[in-house]
Amino acid sequence: MAALITDRELNLATLARQFLLRRAEVSALDAIEHLAGLQAQAPNPPYLALWARLKNFAAEDLSTLVEKRQVVRLVAMRGTVFALSAADAGPFRATVQTIMERDLHTNSTQRAALTGLDLDALAQAGRDLVADGPLTQMQMRPLLAERFPGHAAEGLAHGVRGLLPMVQVPPRGLWGRSGAPALTTLENWLGAEVSSTPDPDAMVLRYLAAFGPASVKDAQAWSGLTRLAEVFERLRPGLINFVNAKGAEVFDLPDAPRPNSGTPPVRILAPFDNILLSHADRSRIMDEQYRTRVFTVNGIIKPAILVRGKVVGFATVTPAKETVELSATLFAQQPKTALGSIEKEARSLLKFMHPKISTREVRFAVAT
């Protein structure tokens, strides 16, 4: 019979693997690979995620990786943009490609433009258009409309993005710089063929290394894939299993860290931080009653504040010309020692985000 694993043990295990139990002394590239990518639909969250997890992280560490094409930004798990290592981008995208293909037939806004279309021809048209250089979707639209008259240009560009692994090239994704996402194929950007073979077994193992112990439903929530039970069954002989407090079976790698004691430090997570999005049951990191306060109705996920490993509030950063302020909105009053730790972490974050602004304010409020 599988042993019981408590919510606290799940919390500590996941925090340890996420480098949130203590900041890690590893390179940004090694961290991104260990974490199986970083949520990156906006330019800055990957930087803030690494700042929260690594010792002595500097923004240029990641910007350099993006410029040198060692880290790429493309649509992957859950059909959203991730920052992935160049080595992981092809295999991960190939494994979750079915998510994008399903969207082409179910997206209520774009599917009409793709109905009756030869999707292989559309994919080839997309490759042809970016052969001479990256293009934004706005630039692609009229060119695709010329090739496929009678089909909405916006839907055609959406189709290309779903059919092909398209990289958002710099300056998009560089710290302190941005611009509209210009796209080219992953093969073009890396100058090499990339894997197109799905490998869900390898992906599940990577997931467990970064987020475990976890259930089948947890892995499905992280990846966006379905029917992963059969994958876990194939892997079962090499895994260990537990039962959580709710009676669900969770799996893990035999040699993965599972500390059973310790006090997690205060951390301020990145917006859209992947630790909040990678389990069907988020109770190990956040009580369900707080989810709607951190996850907004328009899809924004606020920078969560962790105290003793659990979400206790969220942060809002407001820069001005001479002052930058972080407002910490707490869901309940915290002890003075926790407030002091939050303020210290907040000031460090403000220095990282706005090093040229010397006046940094931290304010607290308790949500009603």
For residue range 320-350, what is the model confidence (pLDDT) as tens digits?
A: 778 999 999 999 999 999 999 999 999 999 9
For residues 94 and 309, what is the distance between their CA atoms, to the nearest angstrom?
34
Tell me, what's the pLDDT at 118? Answer: 94
Separation of alpha carbons 337 and 345, rounded Å: 12
Residue 303, preceding bond cis, omega within 30 degrees?
no
* Residues 6 or more apart in contact with residue 52 via CB below 8 angstroms: 20, 23, 267, 268, 269, 270, 273
* pLDDT higher than 90, residue 298: no
Neighbours of 160 (CB within 10 A): 26
Give pLDDT, residue 179.
81
Using a pLDDT cut of 90, give the percent of the chain over it: 89
What pLDDT score does 112 carry? 87
Query: For residue 119, what pLDDT is reported?
Result: 94
- Mean of the pLDDT values across residues 355-368? 90
Q: What pLDDT is stored for residue 358 in this prediction?
A: 87
Q: How far is residue 336's CA from residue 134's CA, in Å, rounded to a whole number?
A: 52
Instruction: For residue 249, give both structure tokens.
Output: 């079976």
Given its phi and psi angles, is residue 272 left (phi above 0), alpha (psi -120 to 50 degrees) or beta?
left
| Reported confidence tier of residue 142, pLDDT bands at 50, 70, 90 | very high
Contact 10, 284 (CB under 8 A): yes
pLDDT at 2: 87
Confidence of residue 111 (pLDDT cuts 50, 70, 90): confident
pLDDT tens for 196-221 read 899 999 999 999 999 999 999 999 99
What does each C-alpha distance from 214 to 18, 116, 196, 255, 269 come to in angstroms?
A: 14, 41, 27, 15, 21
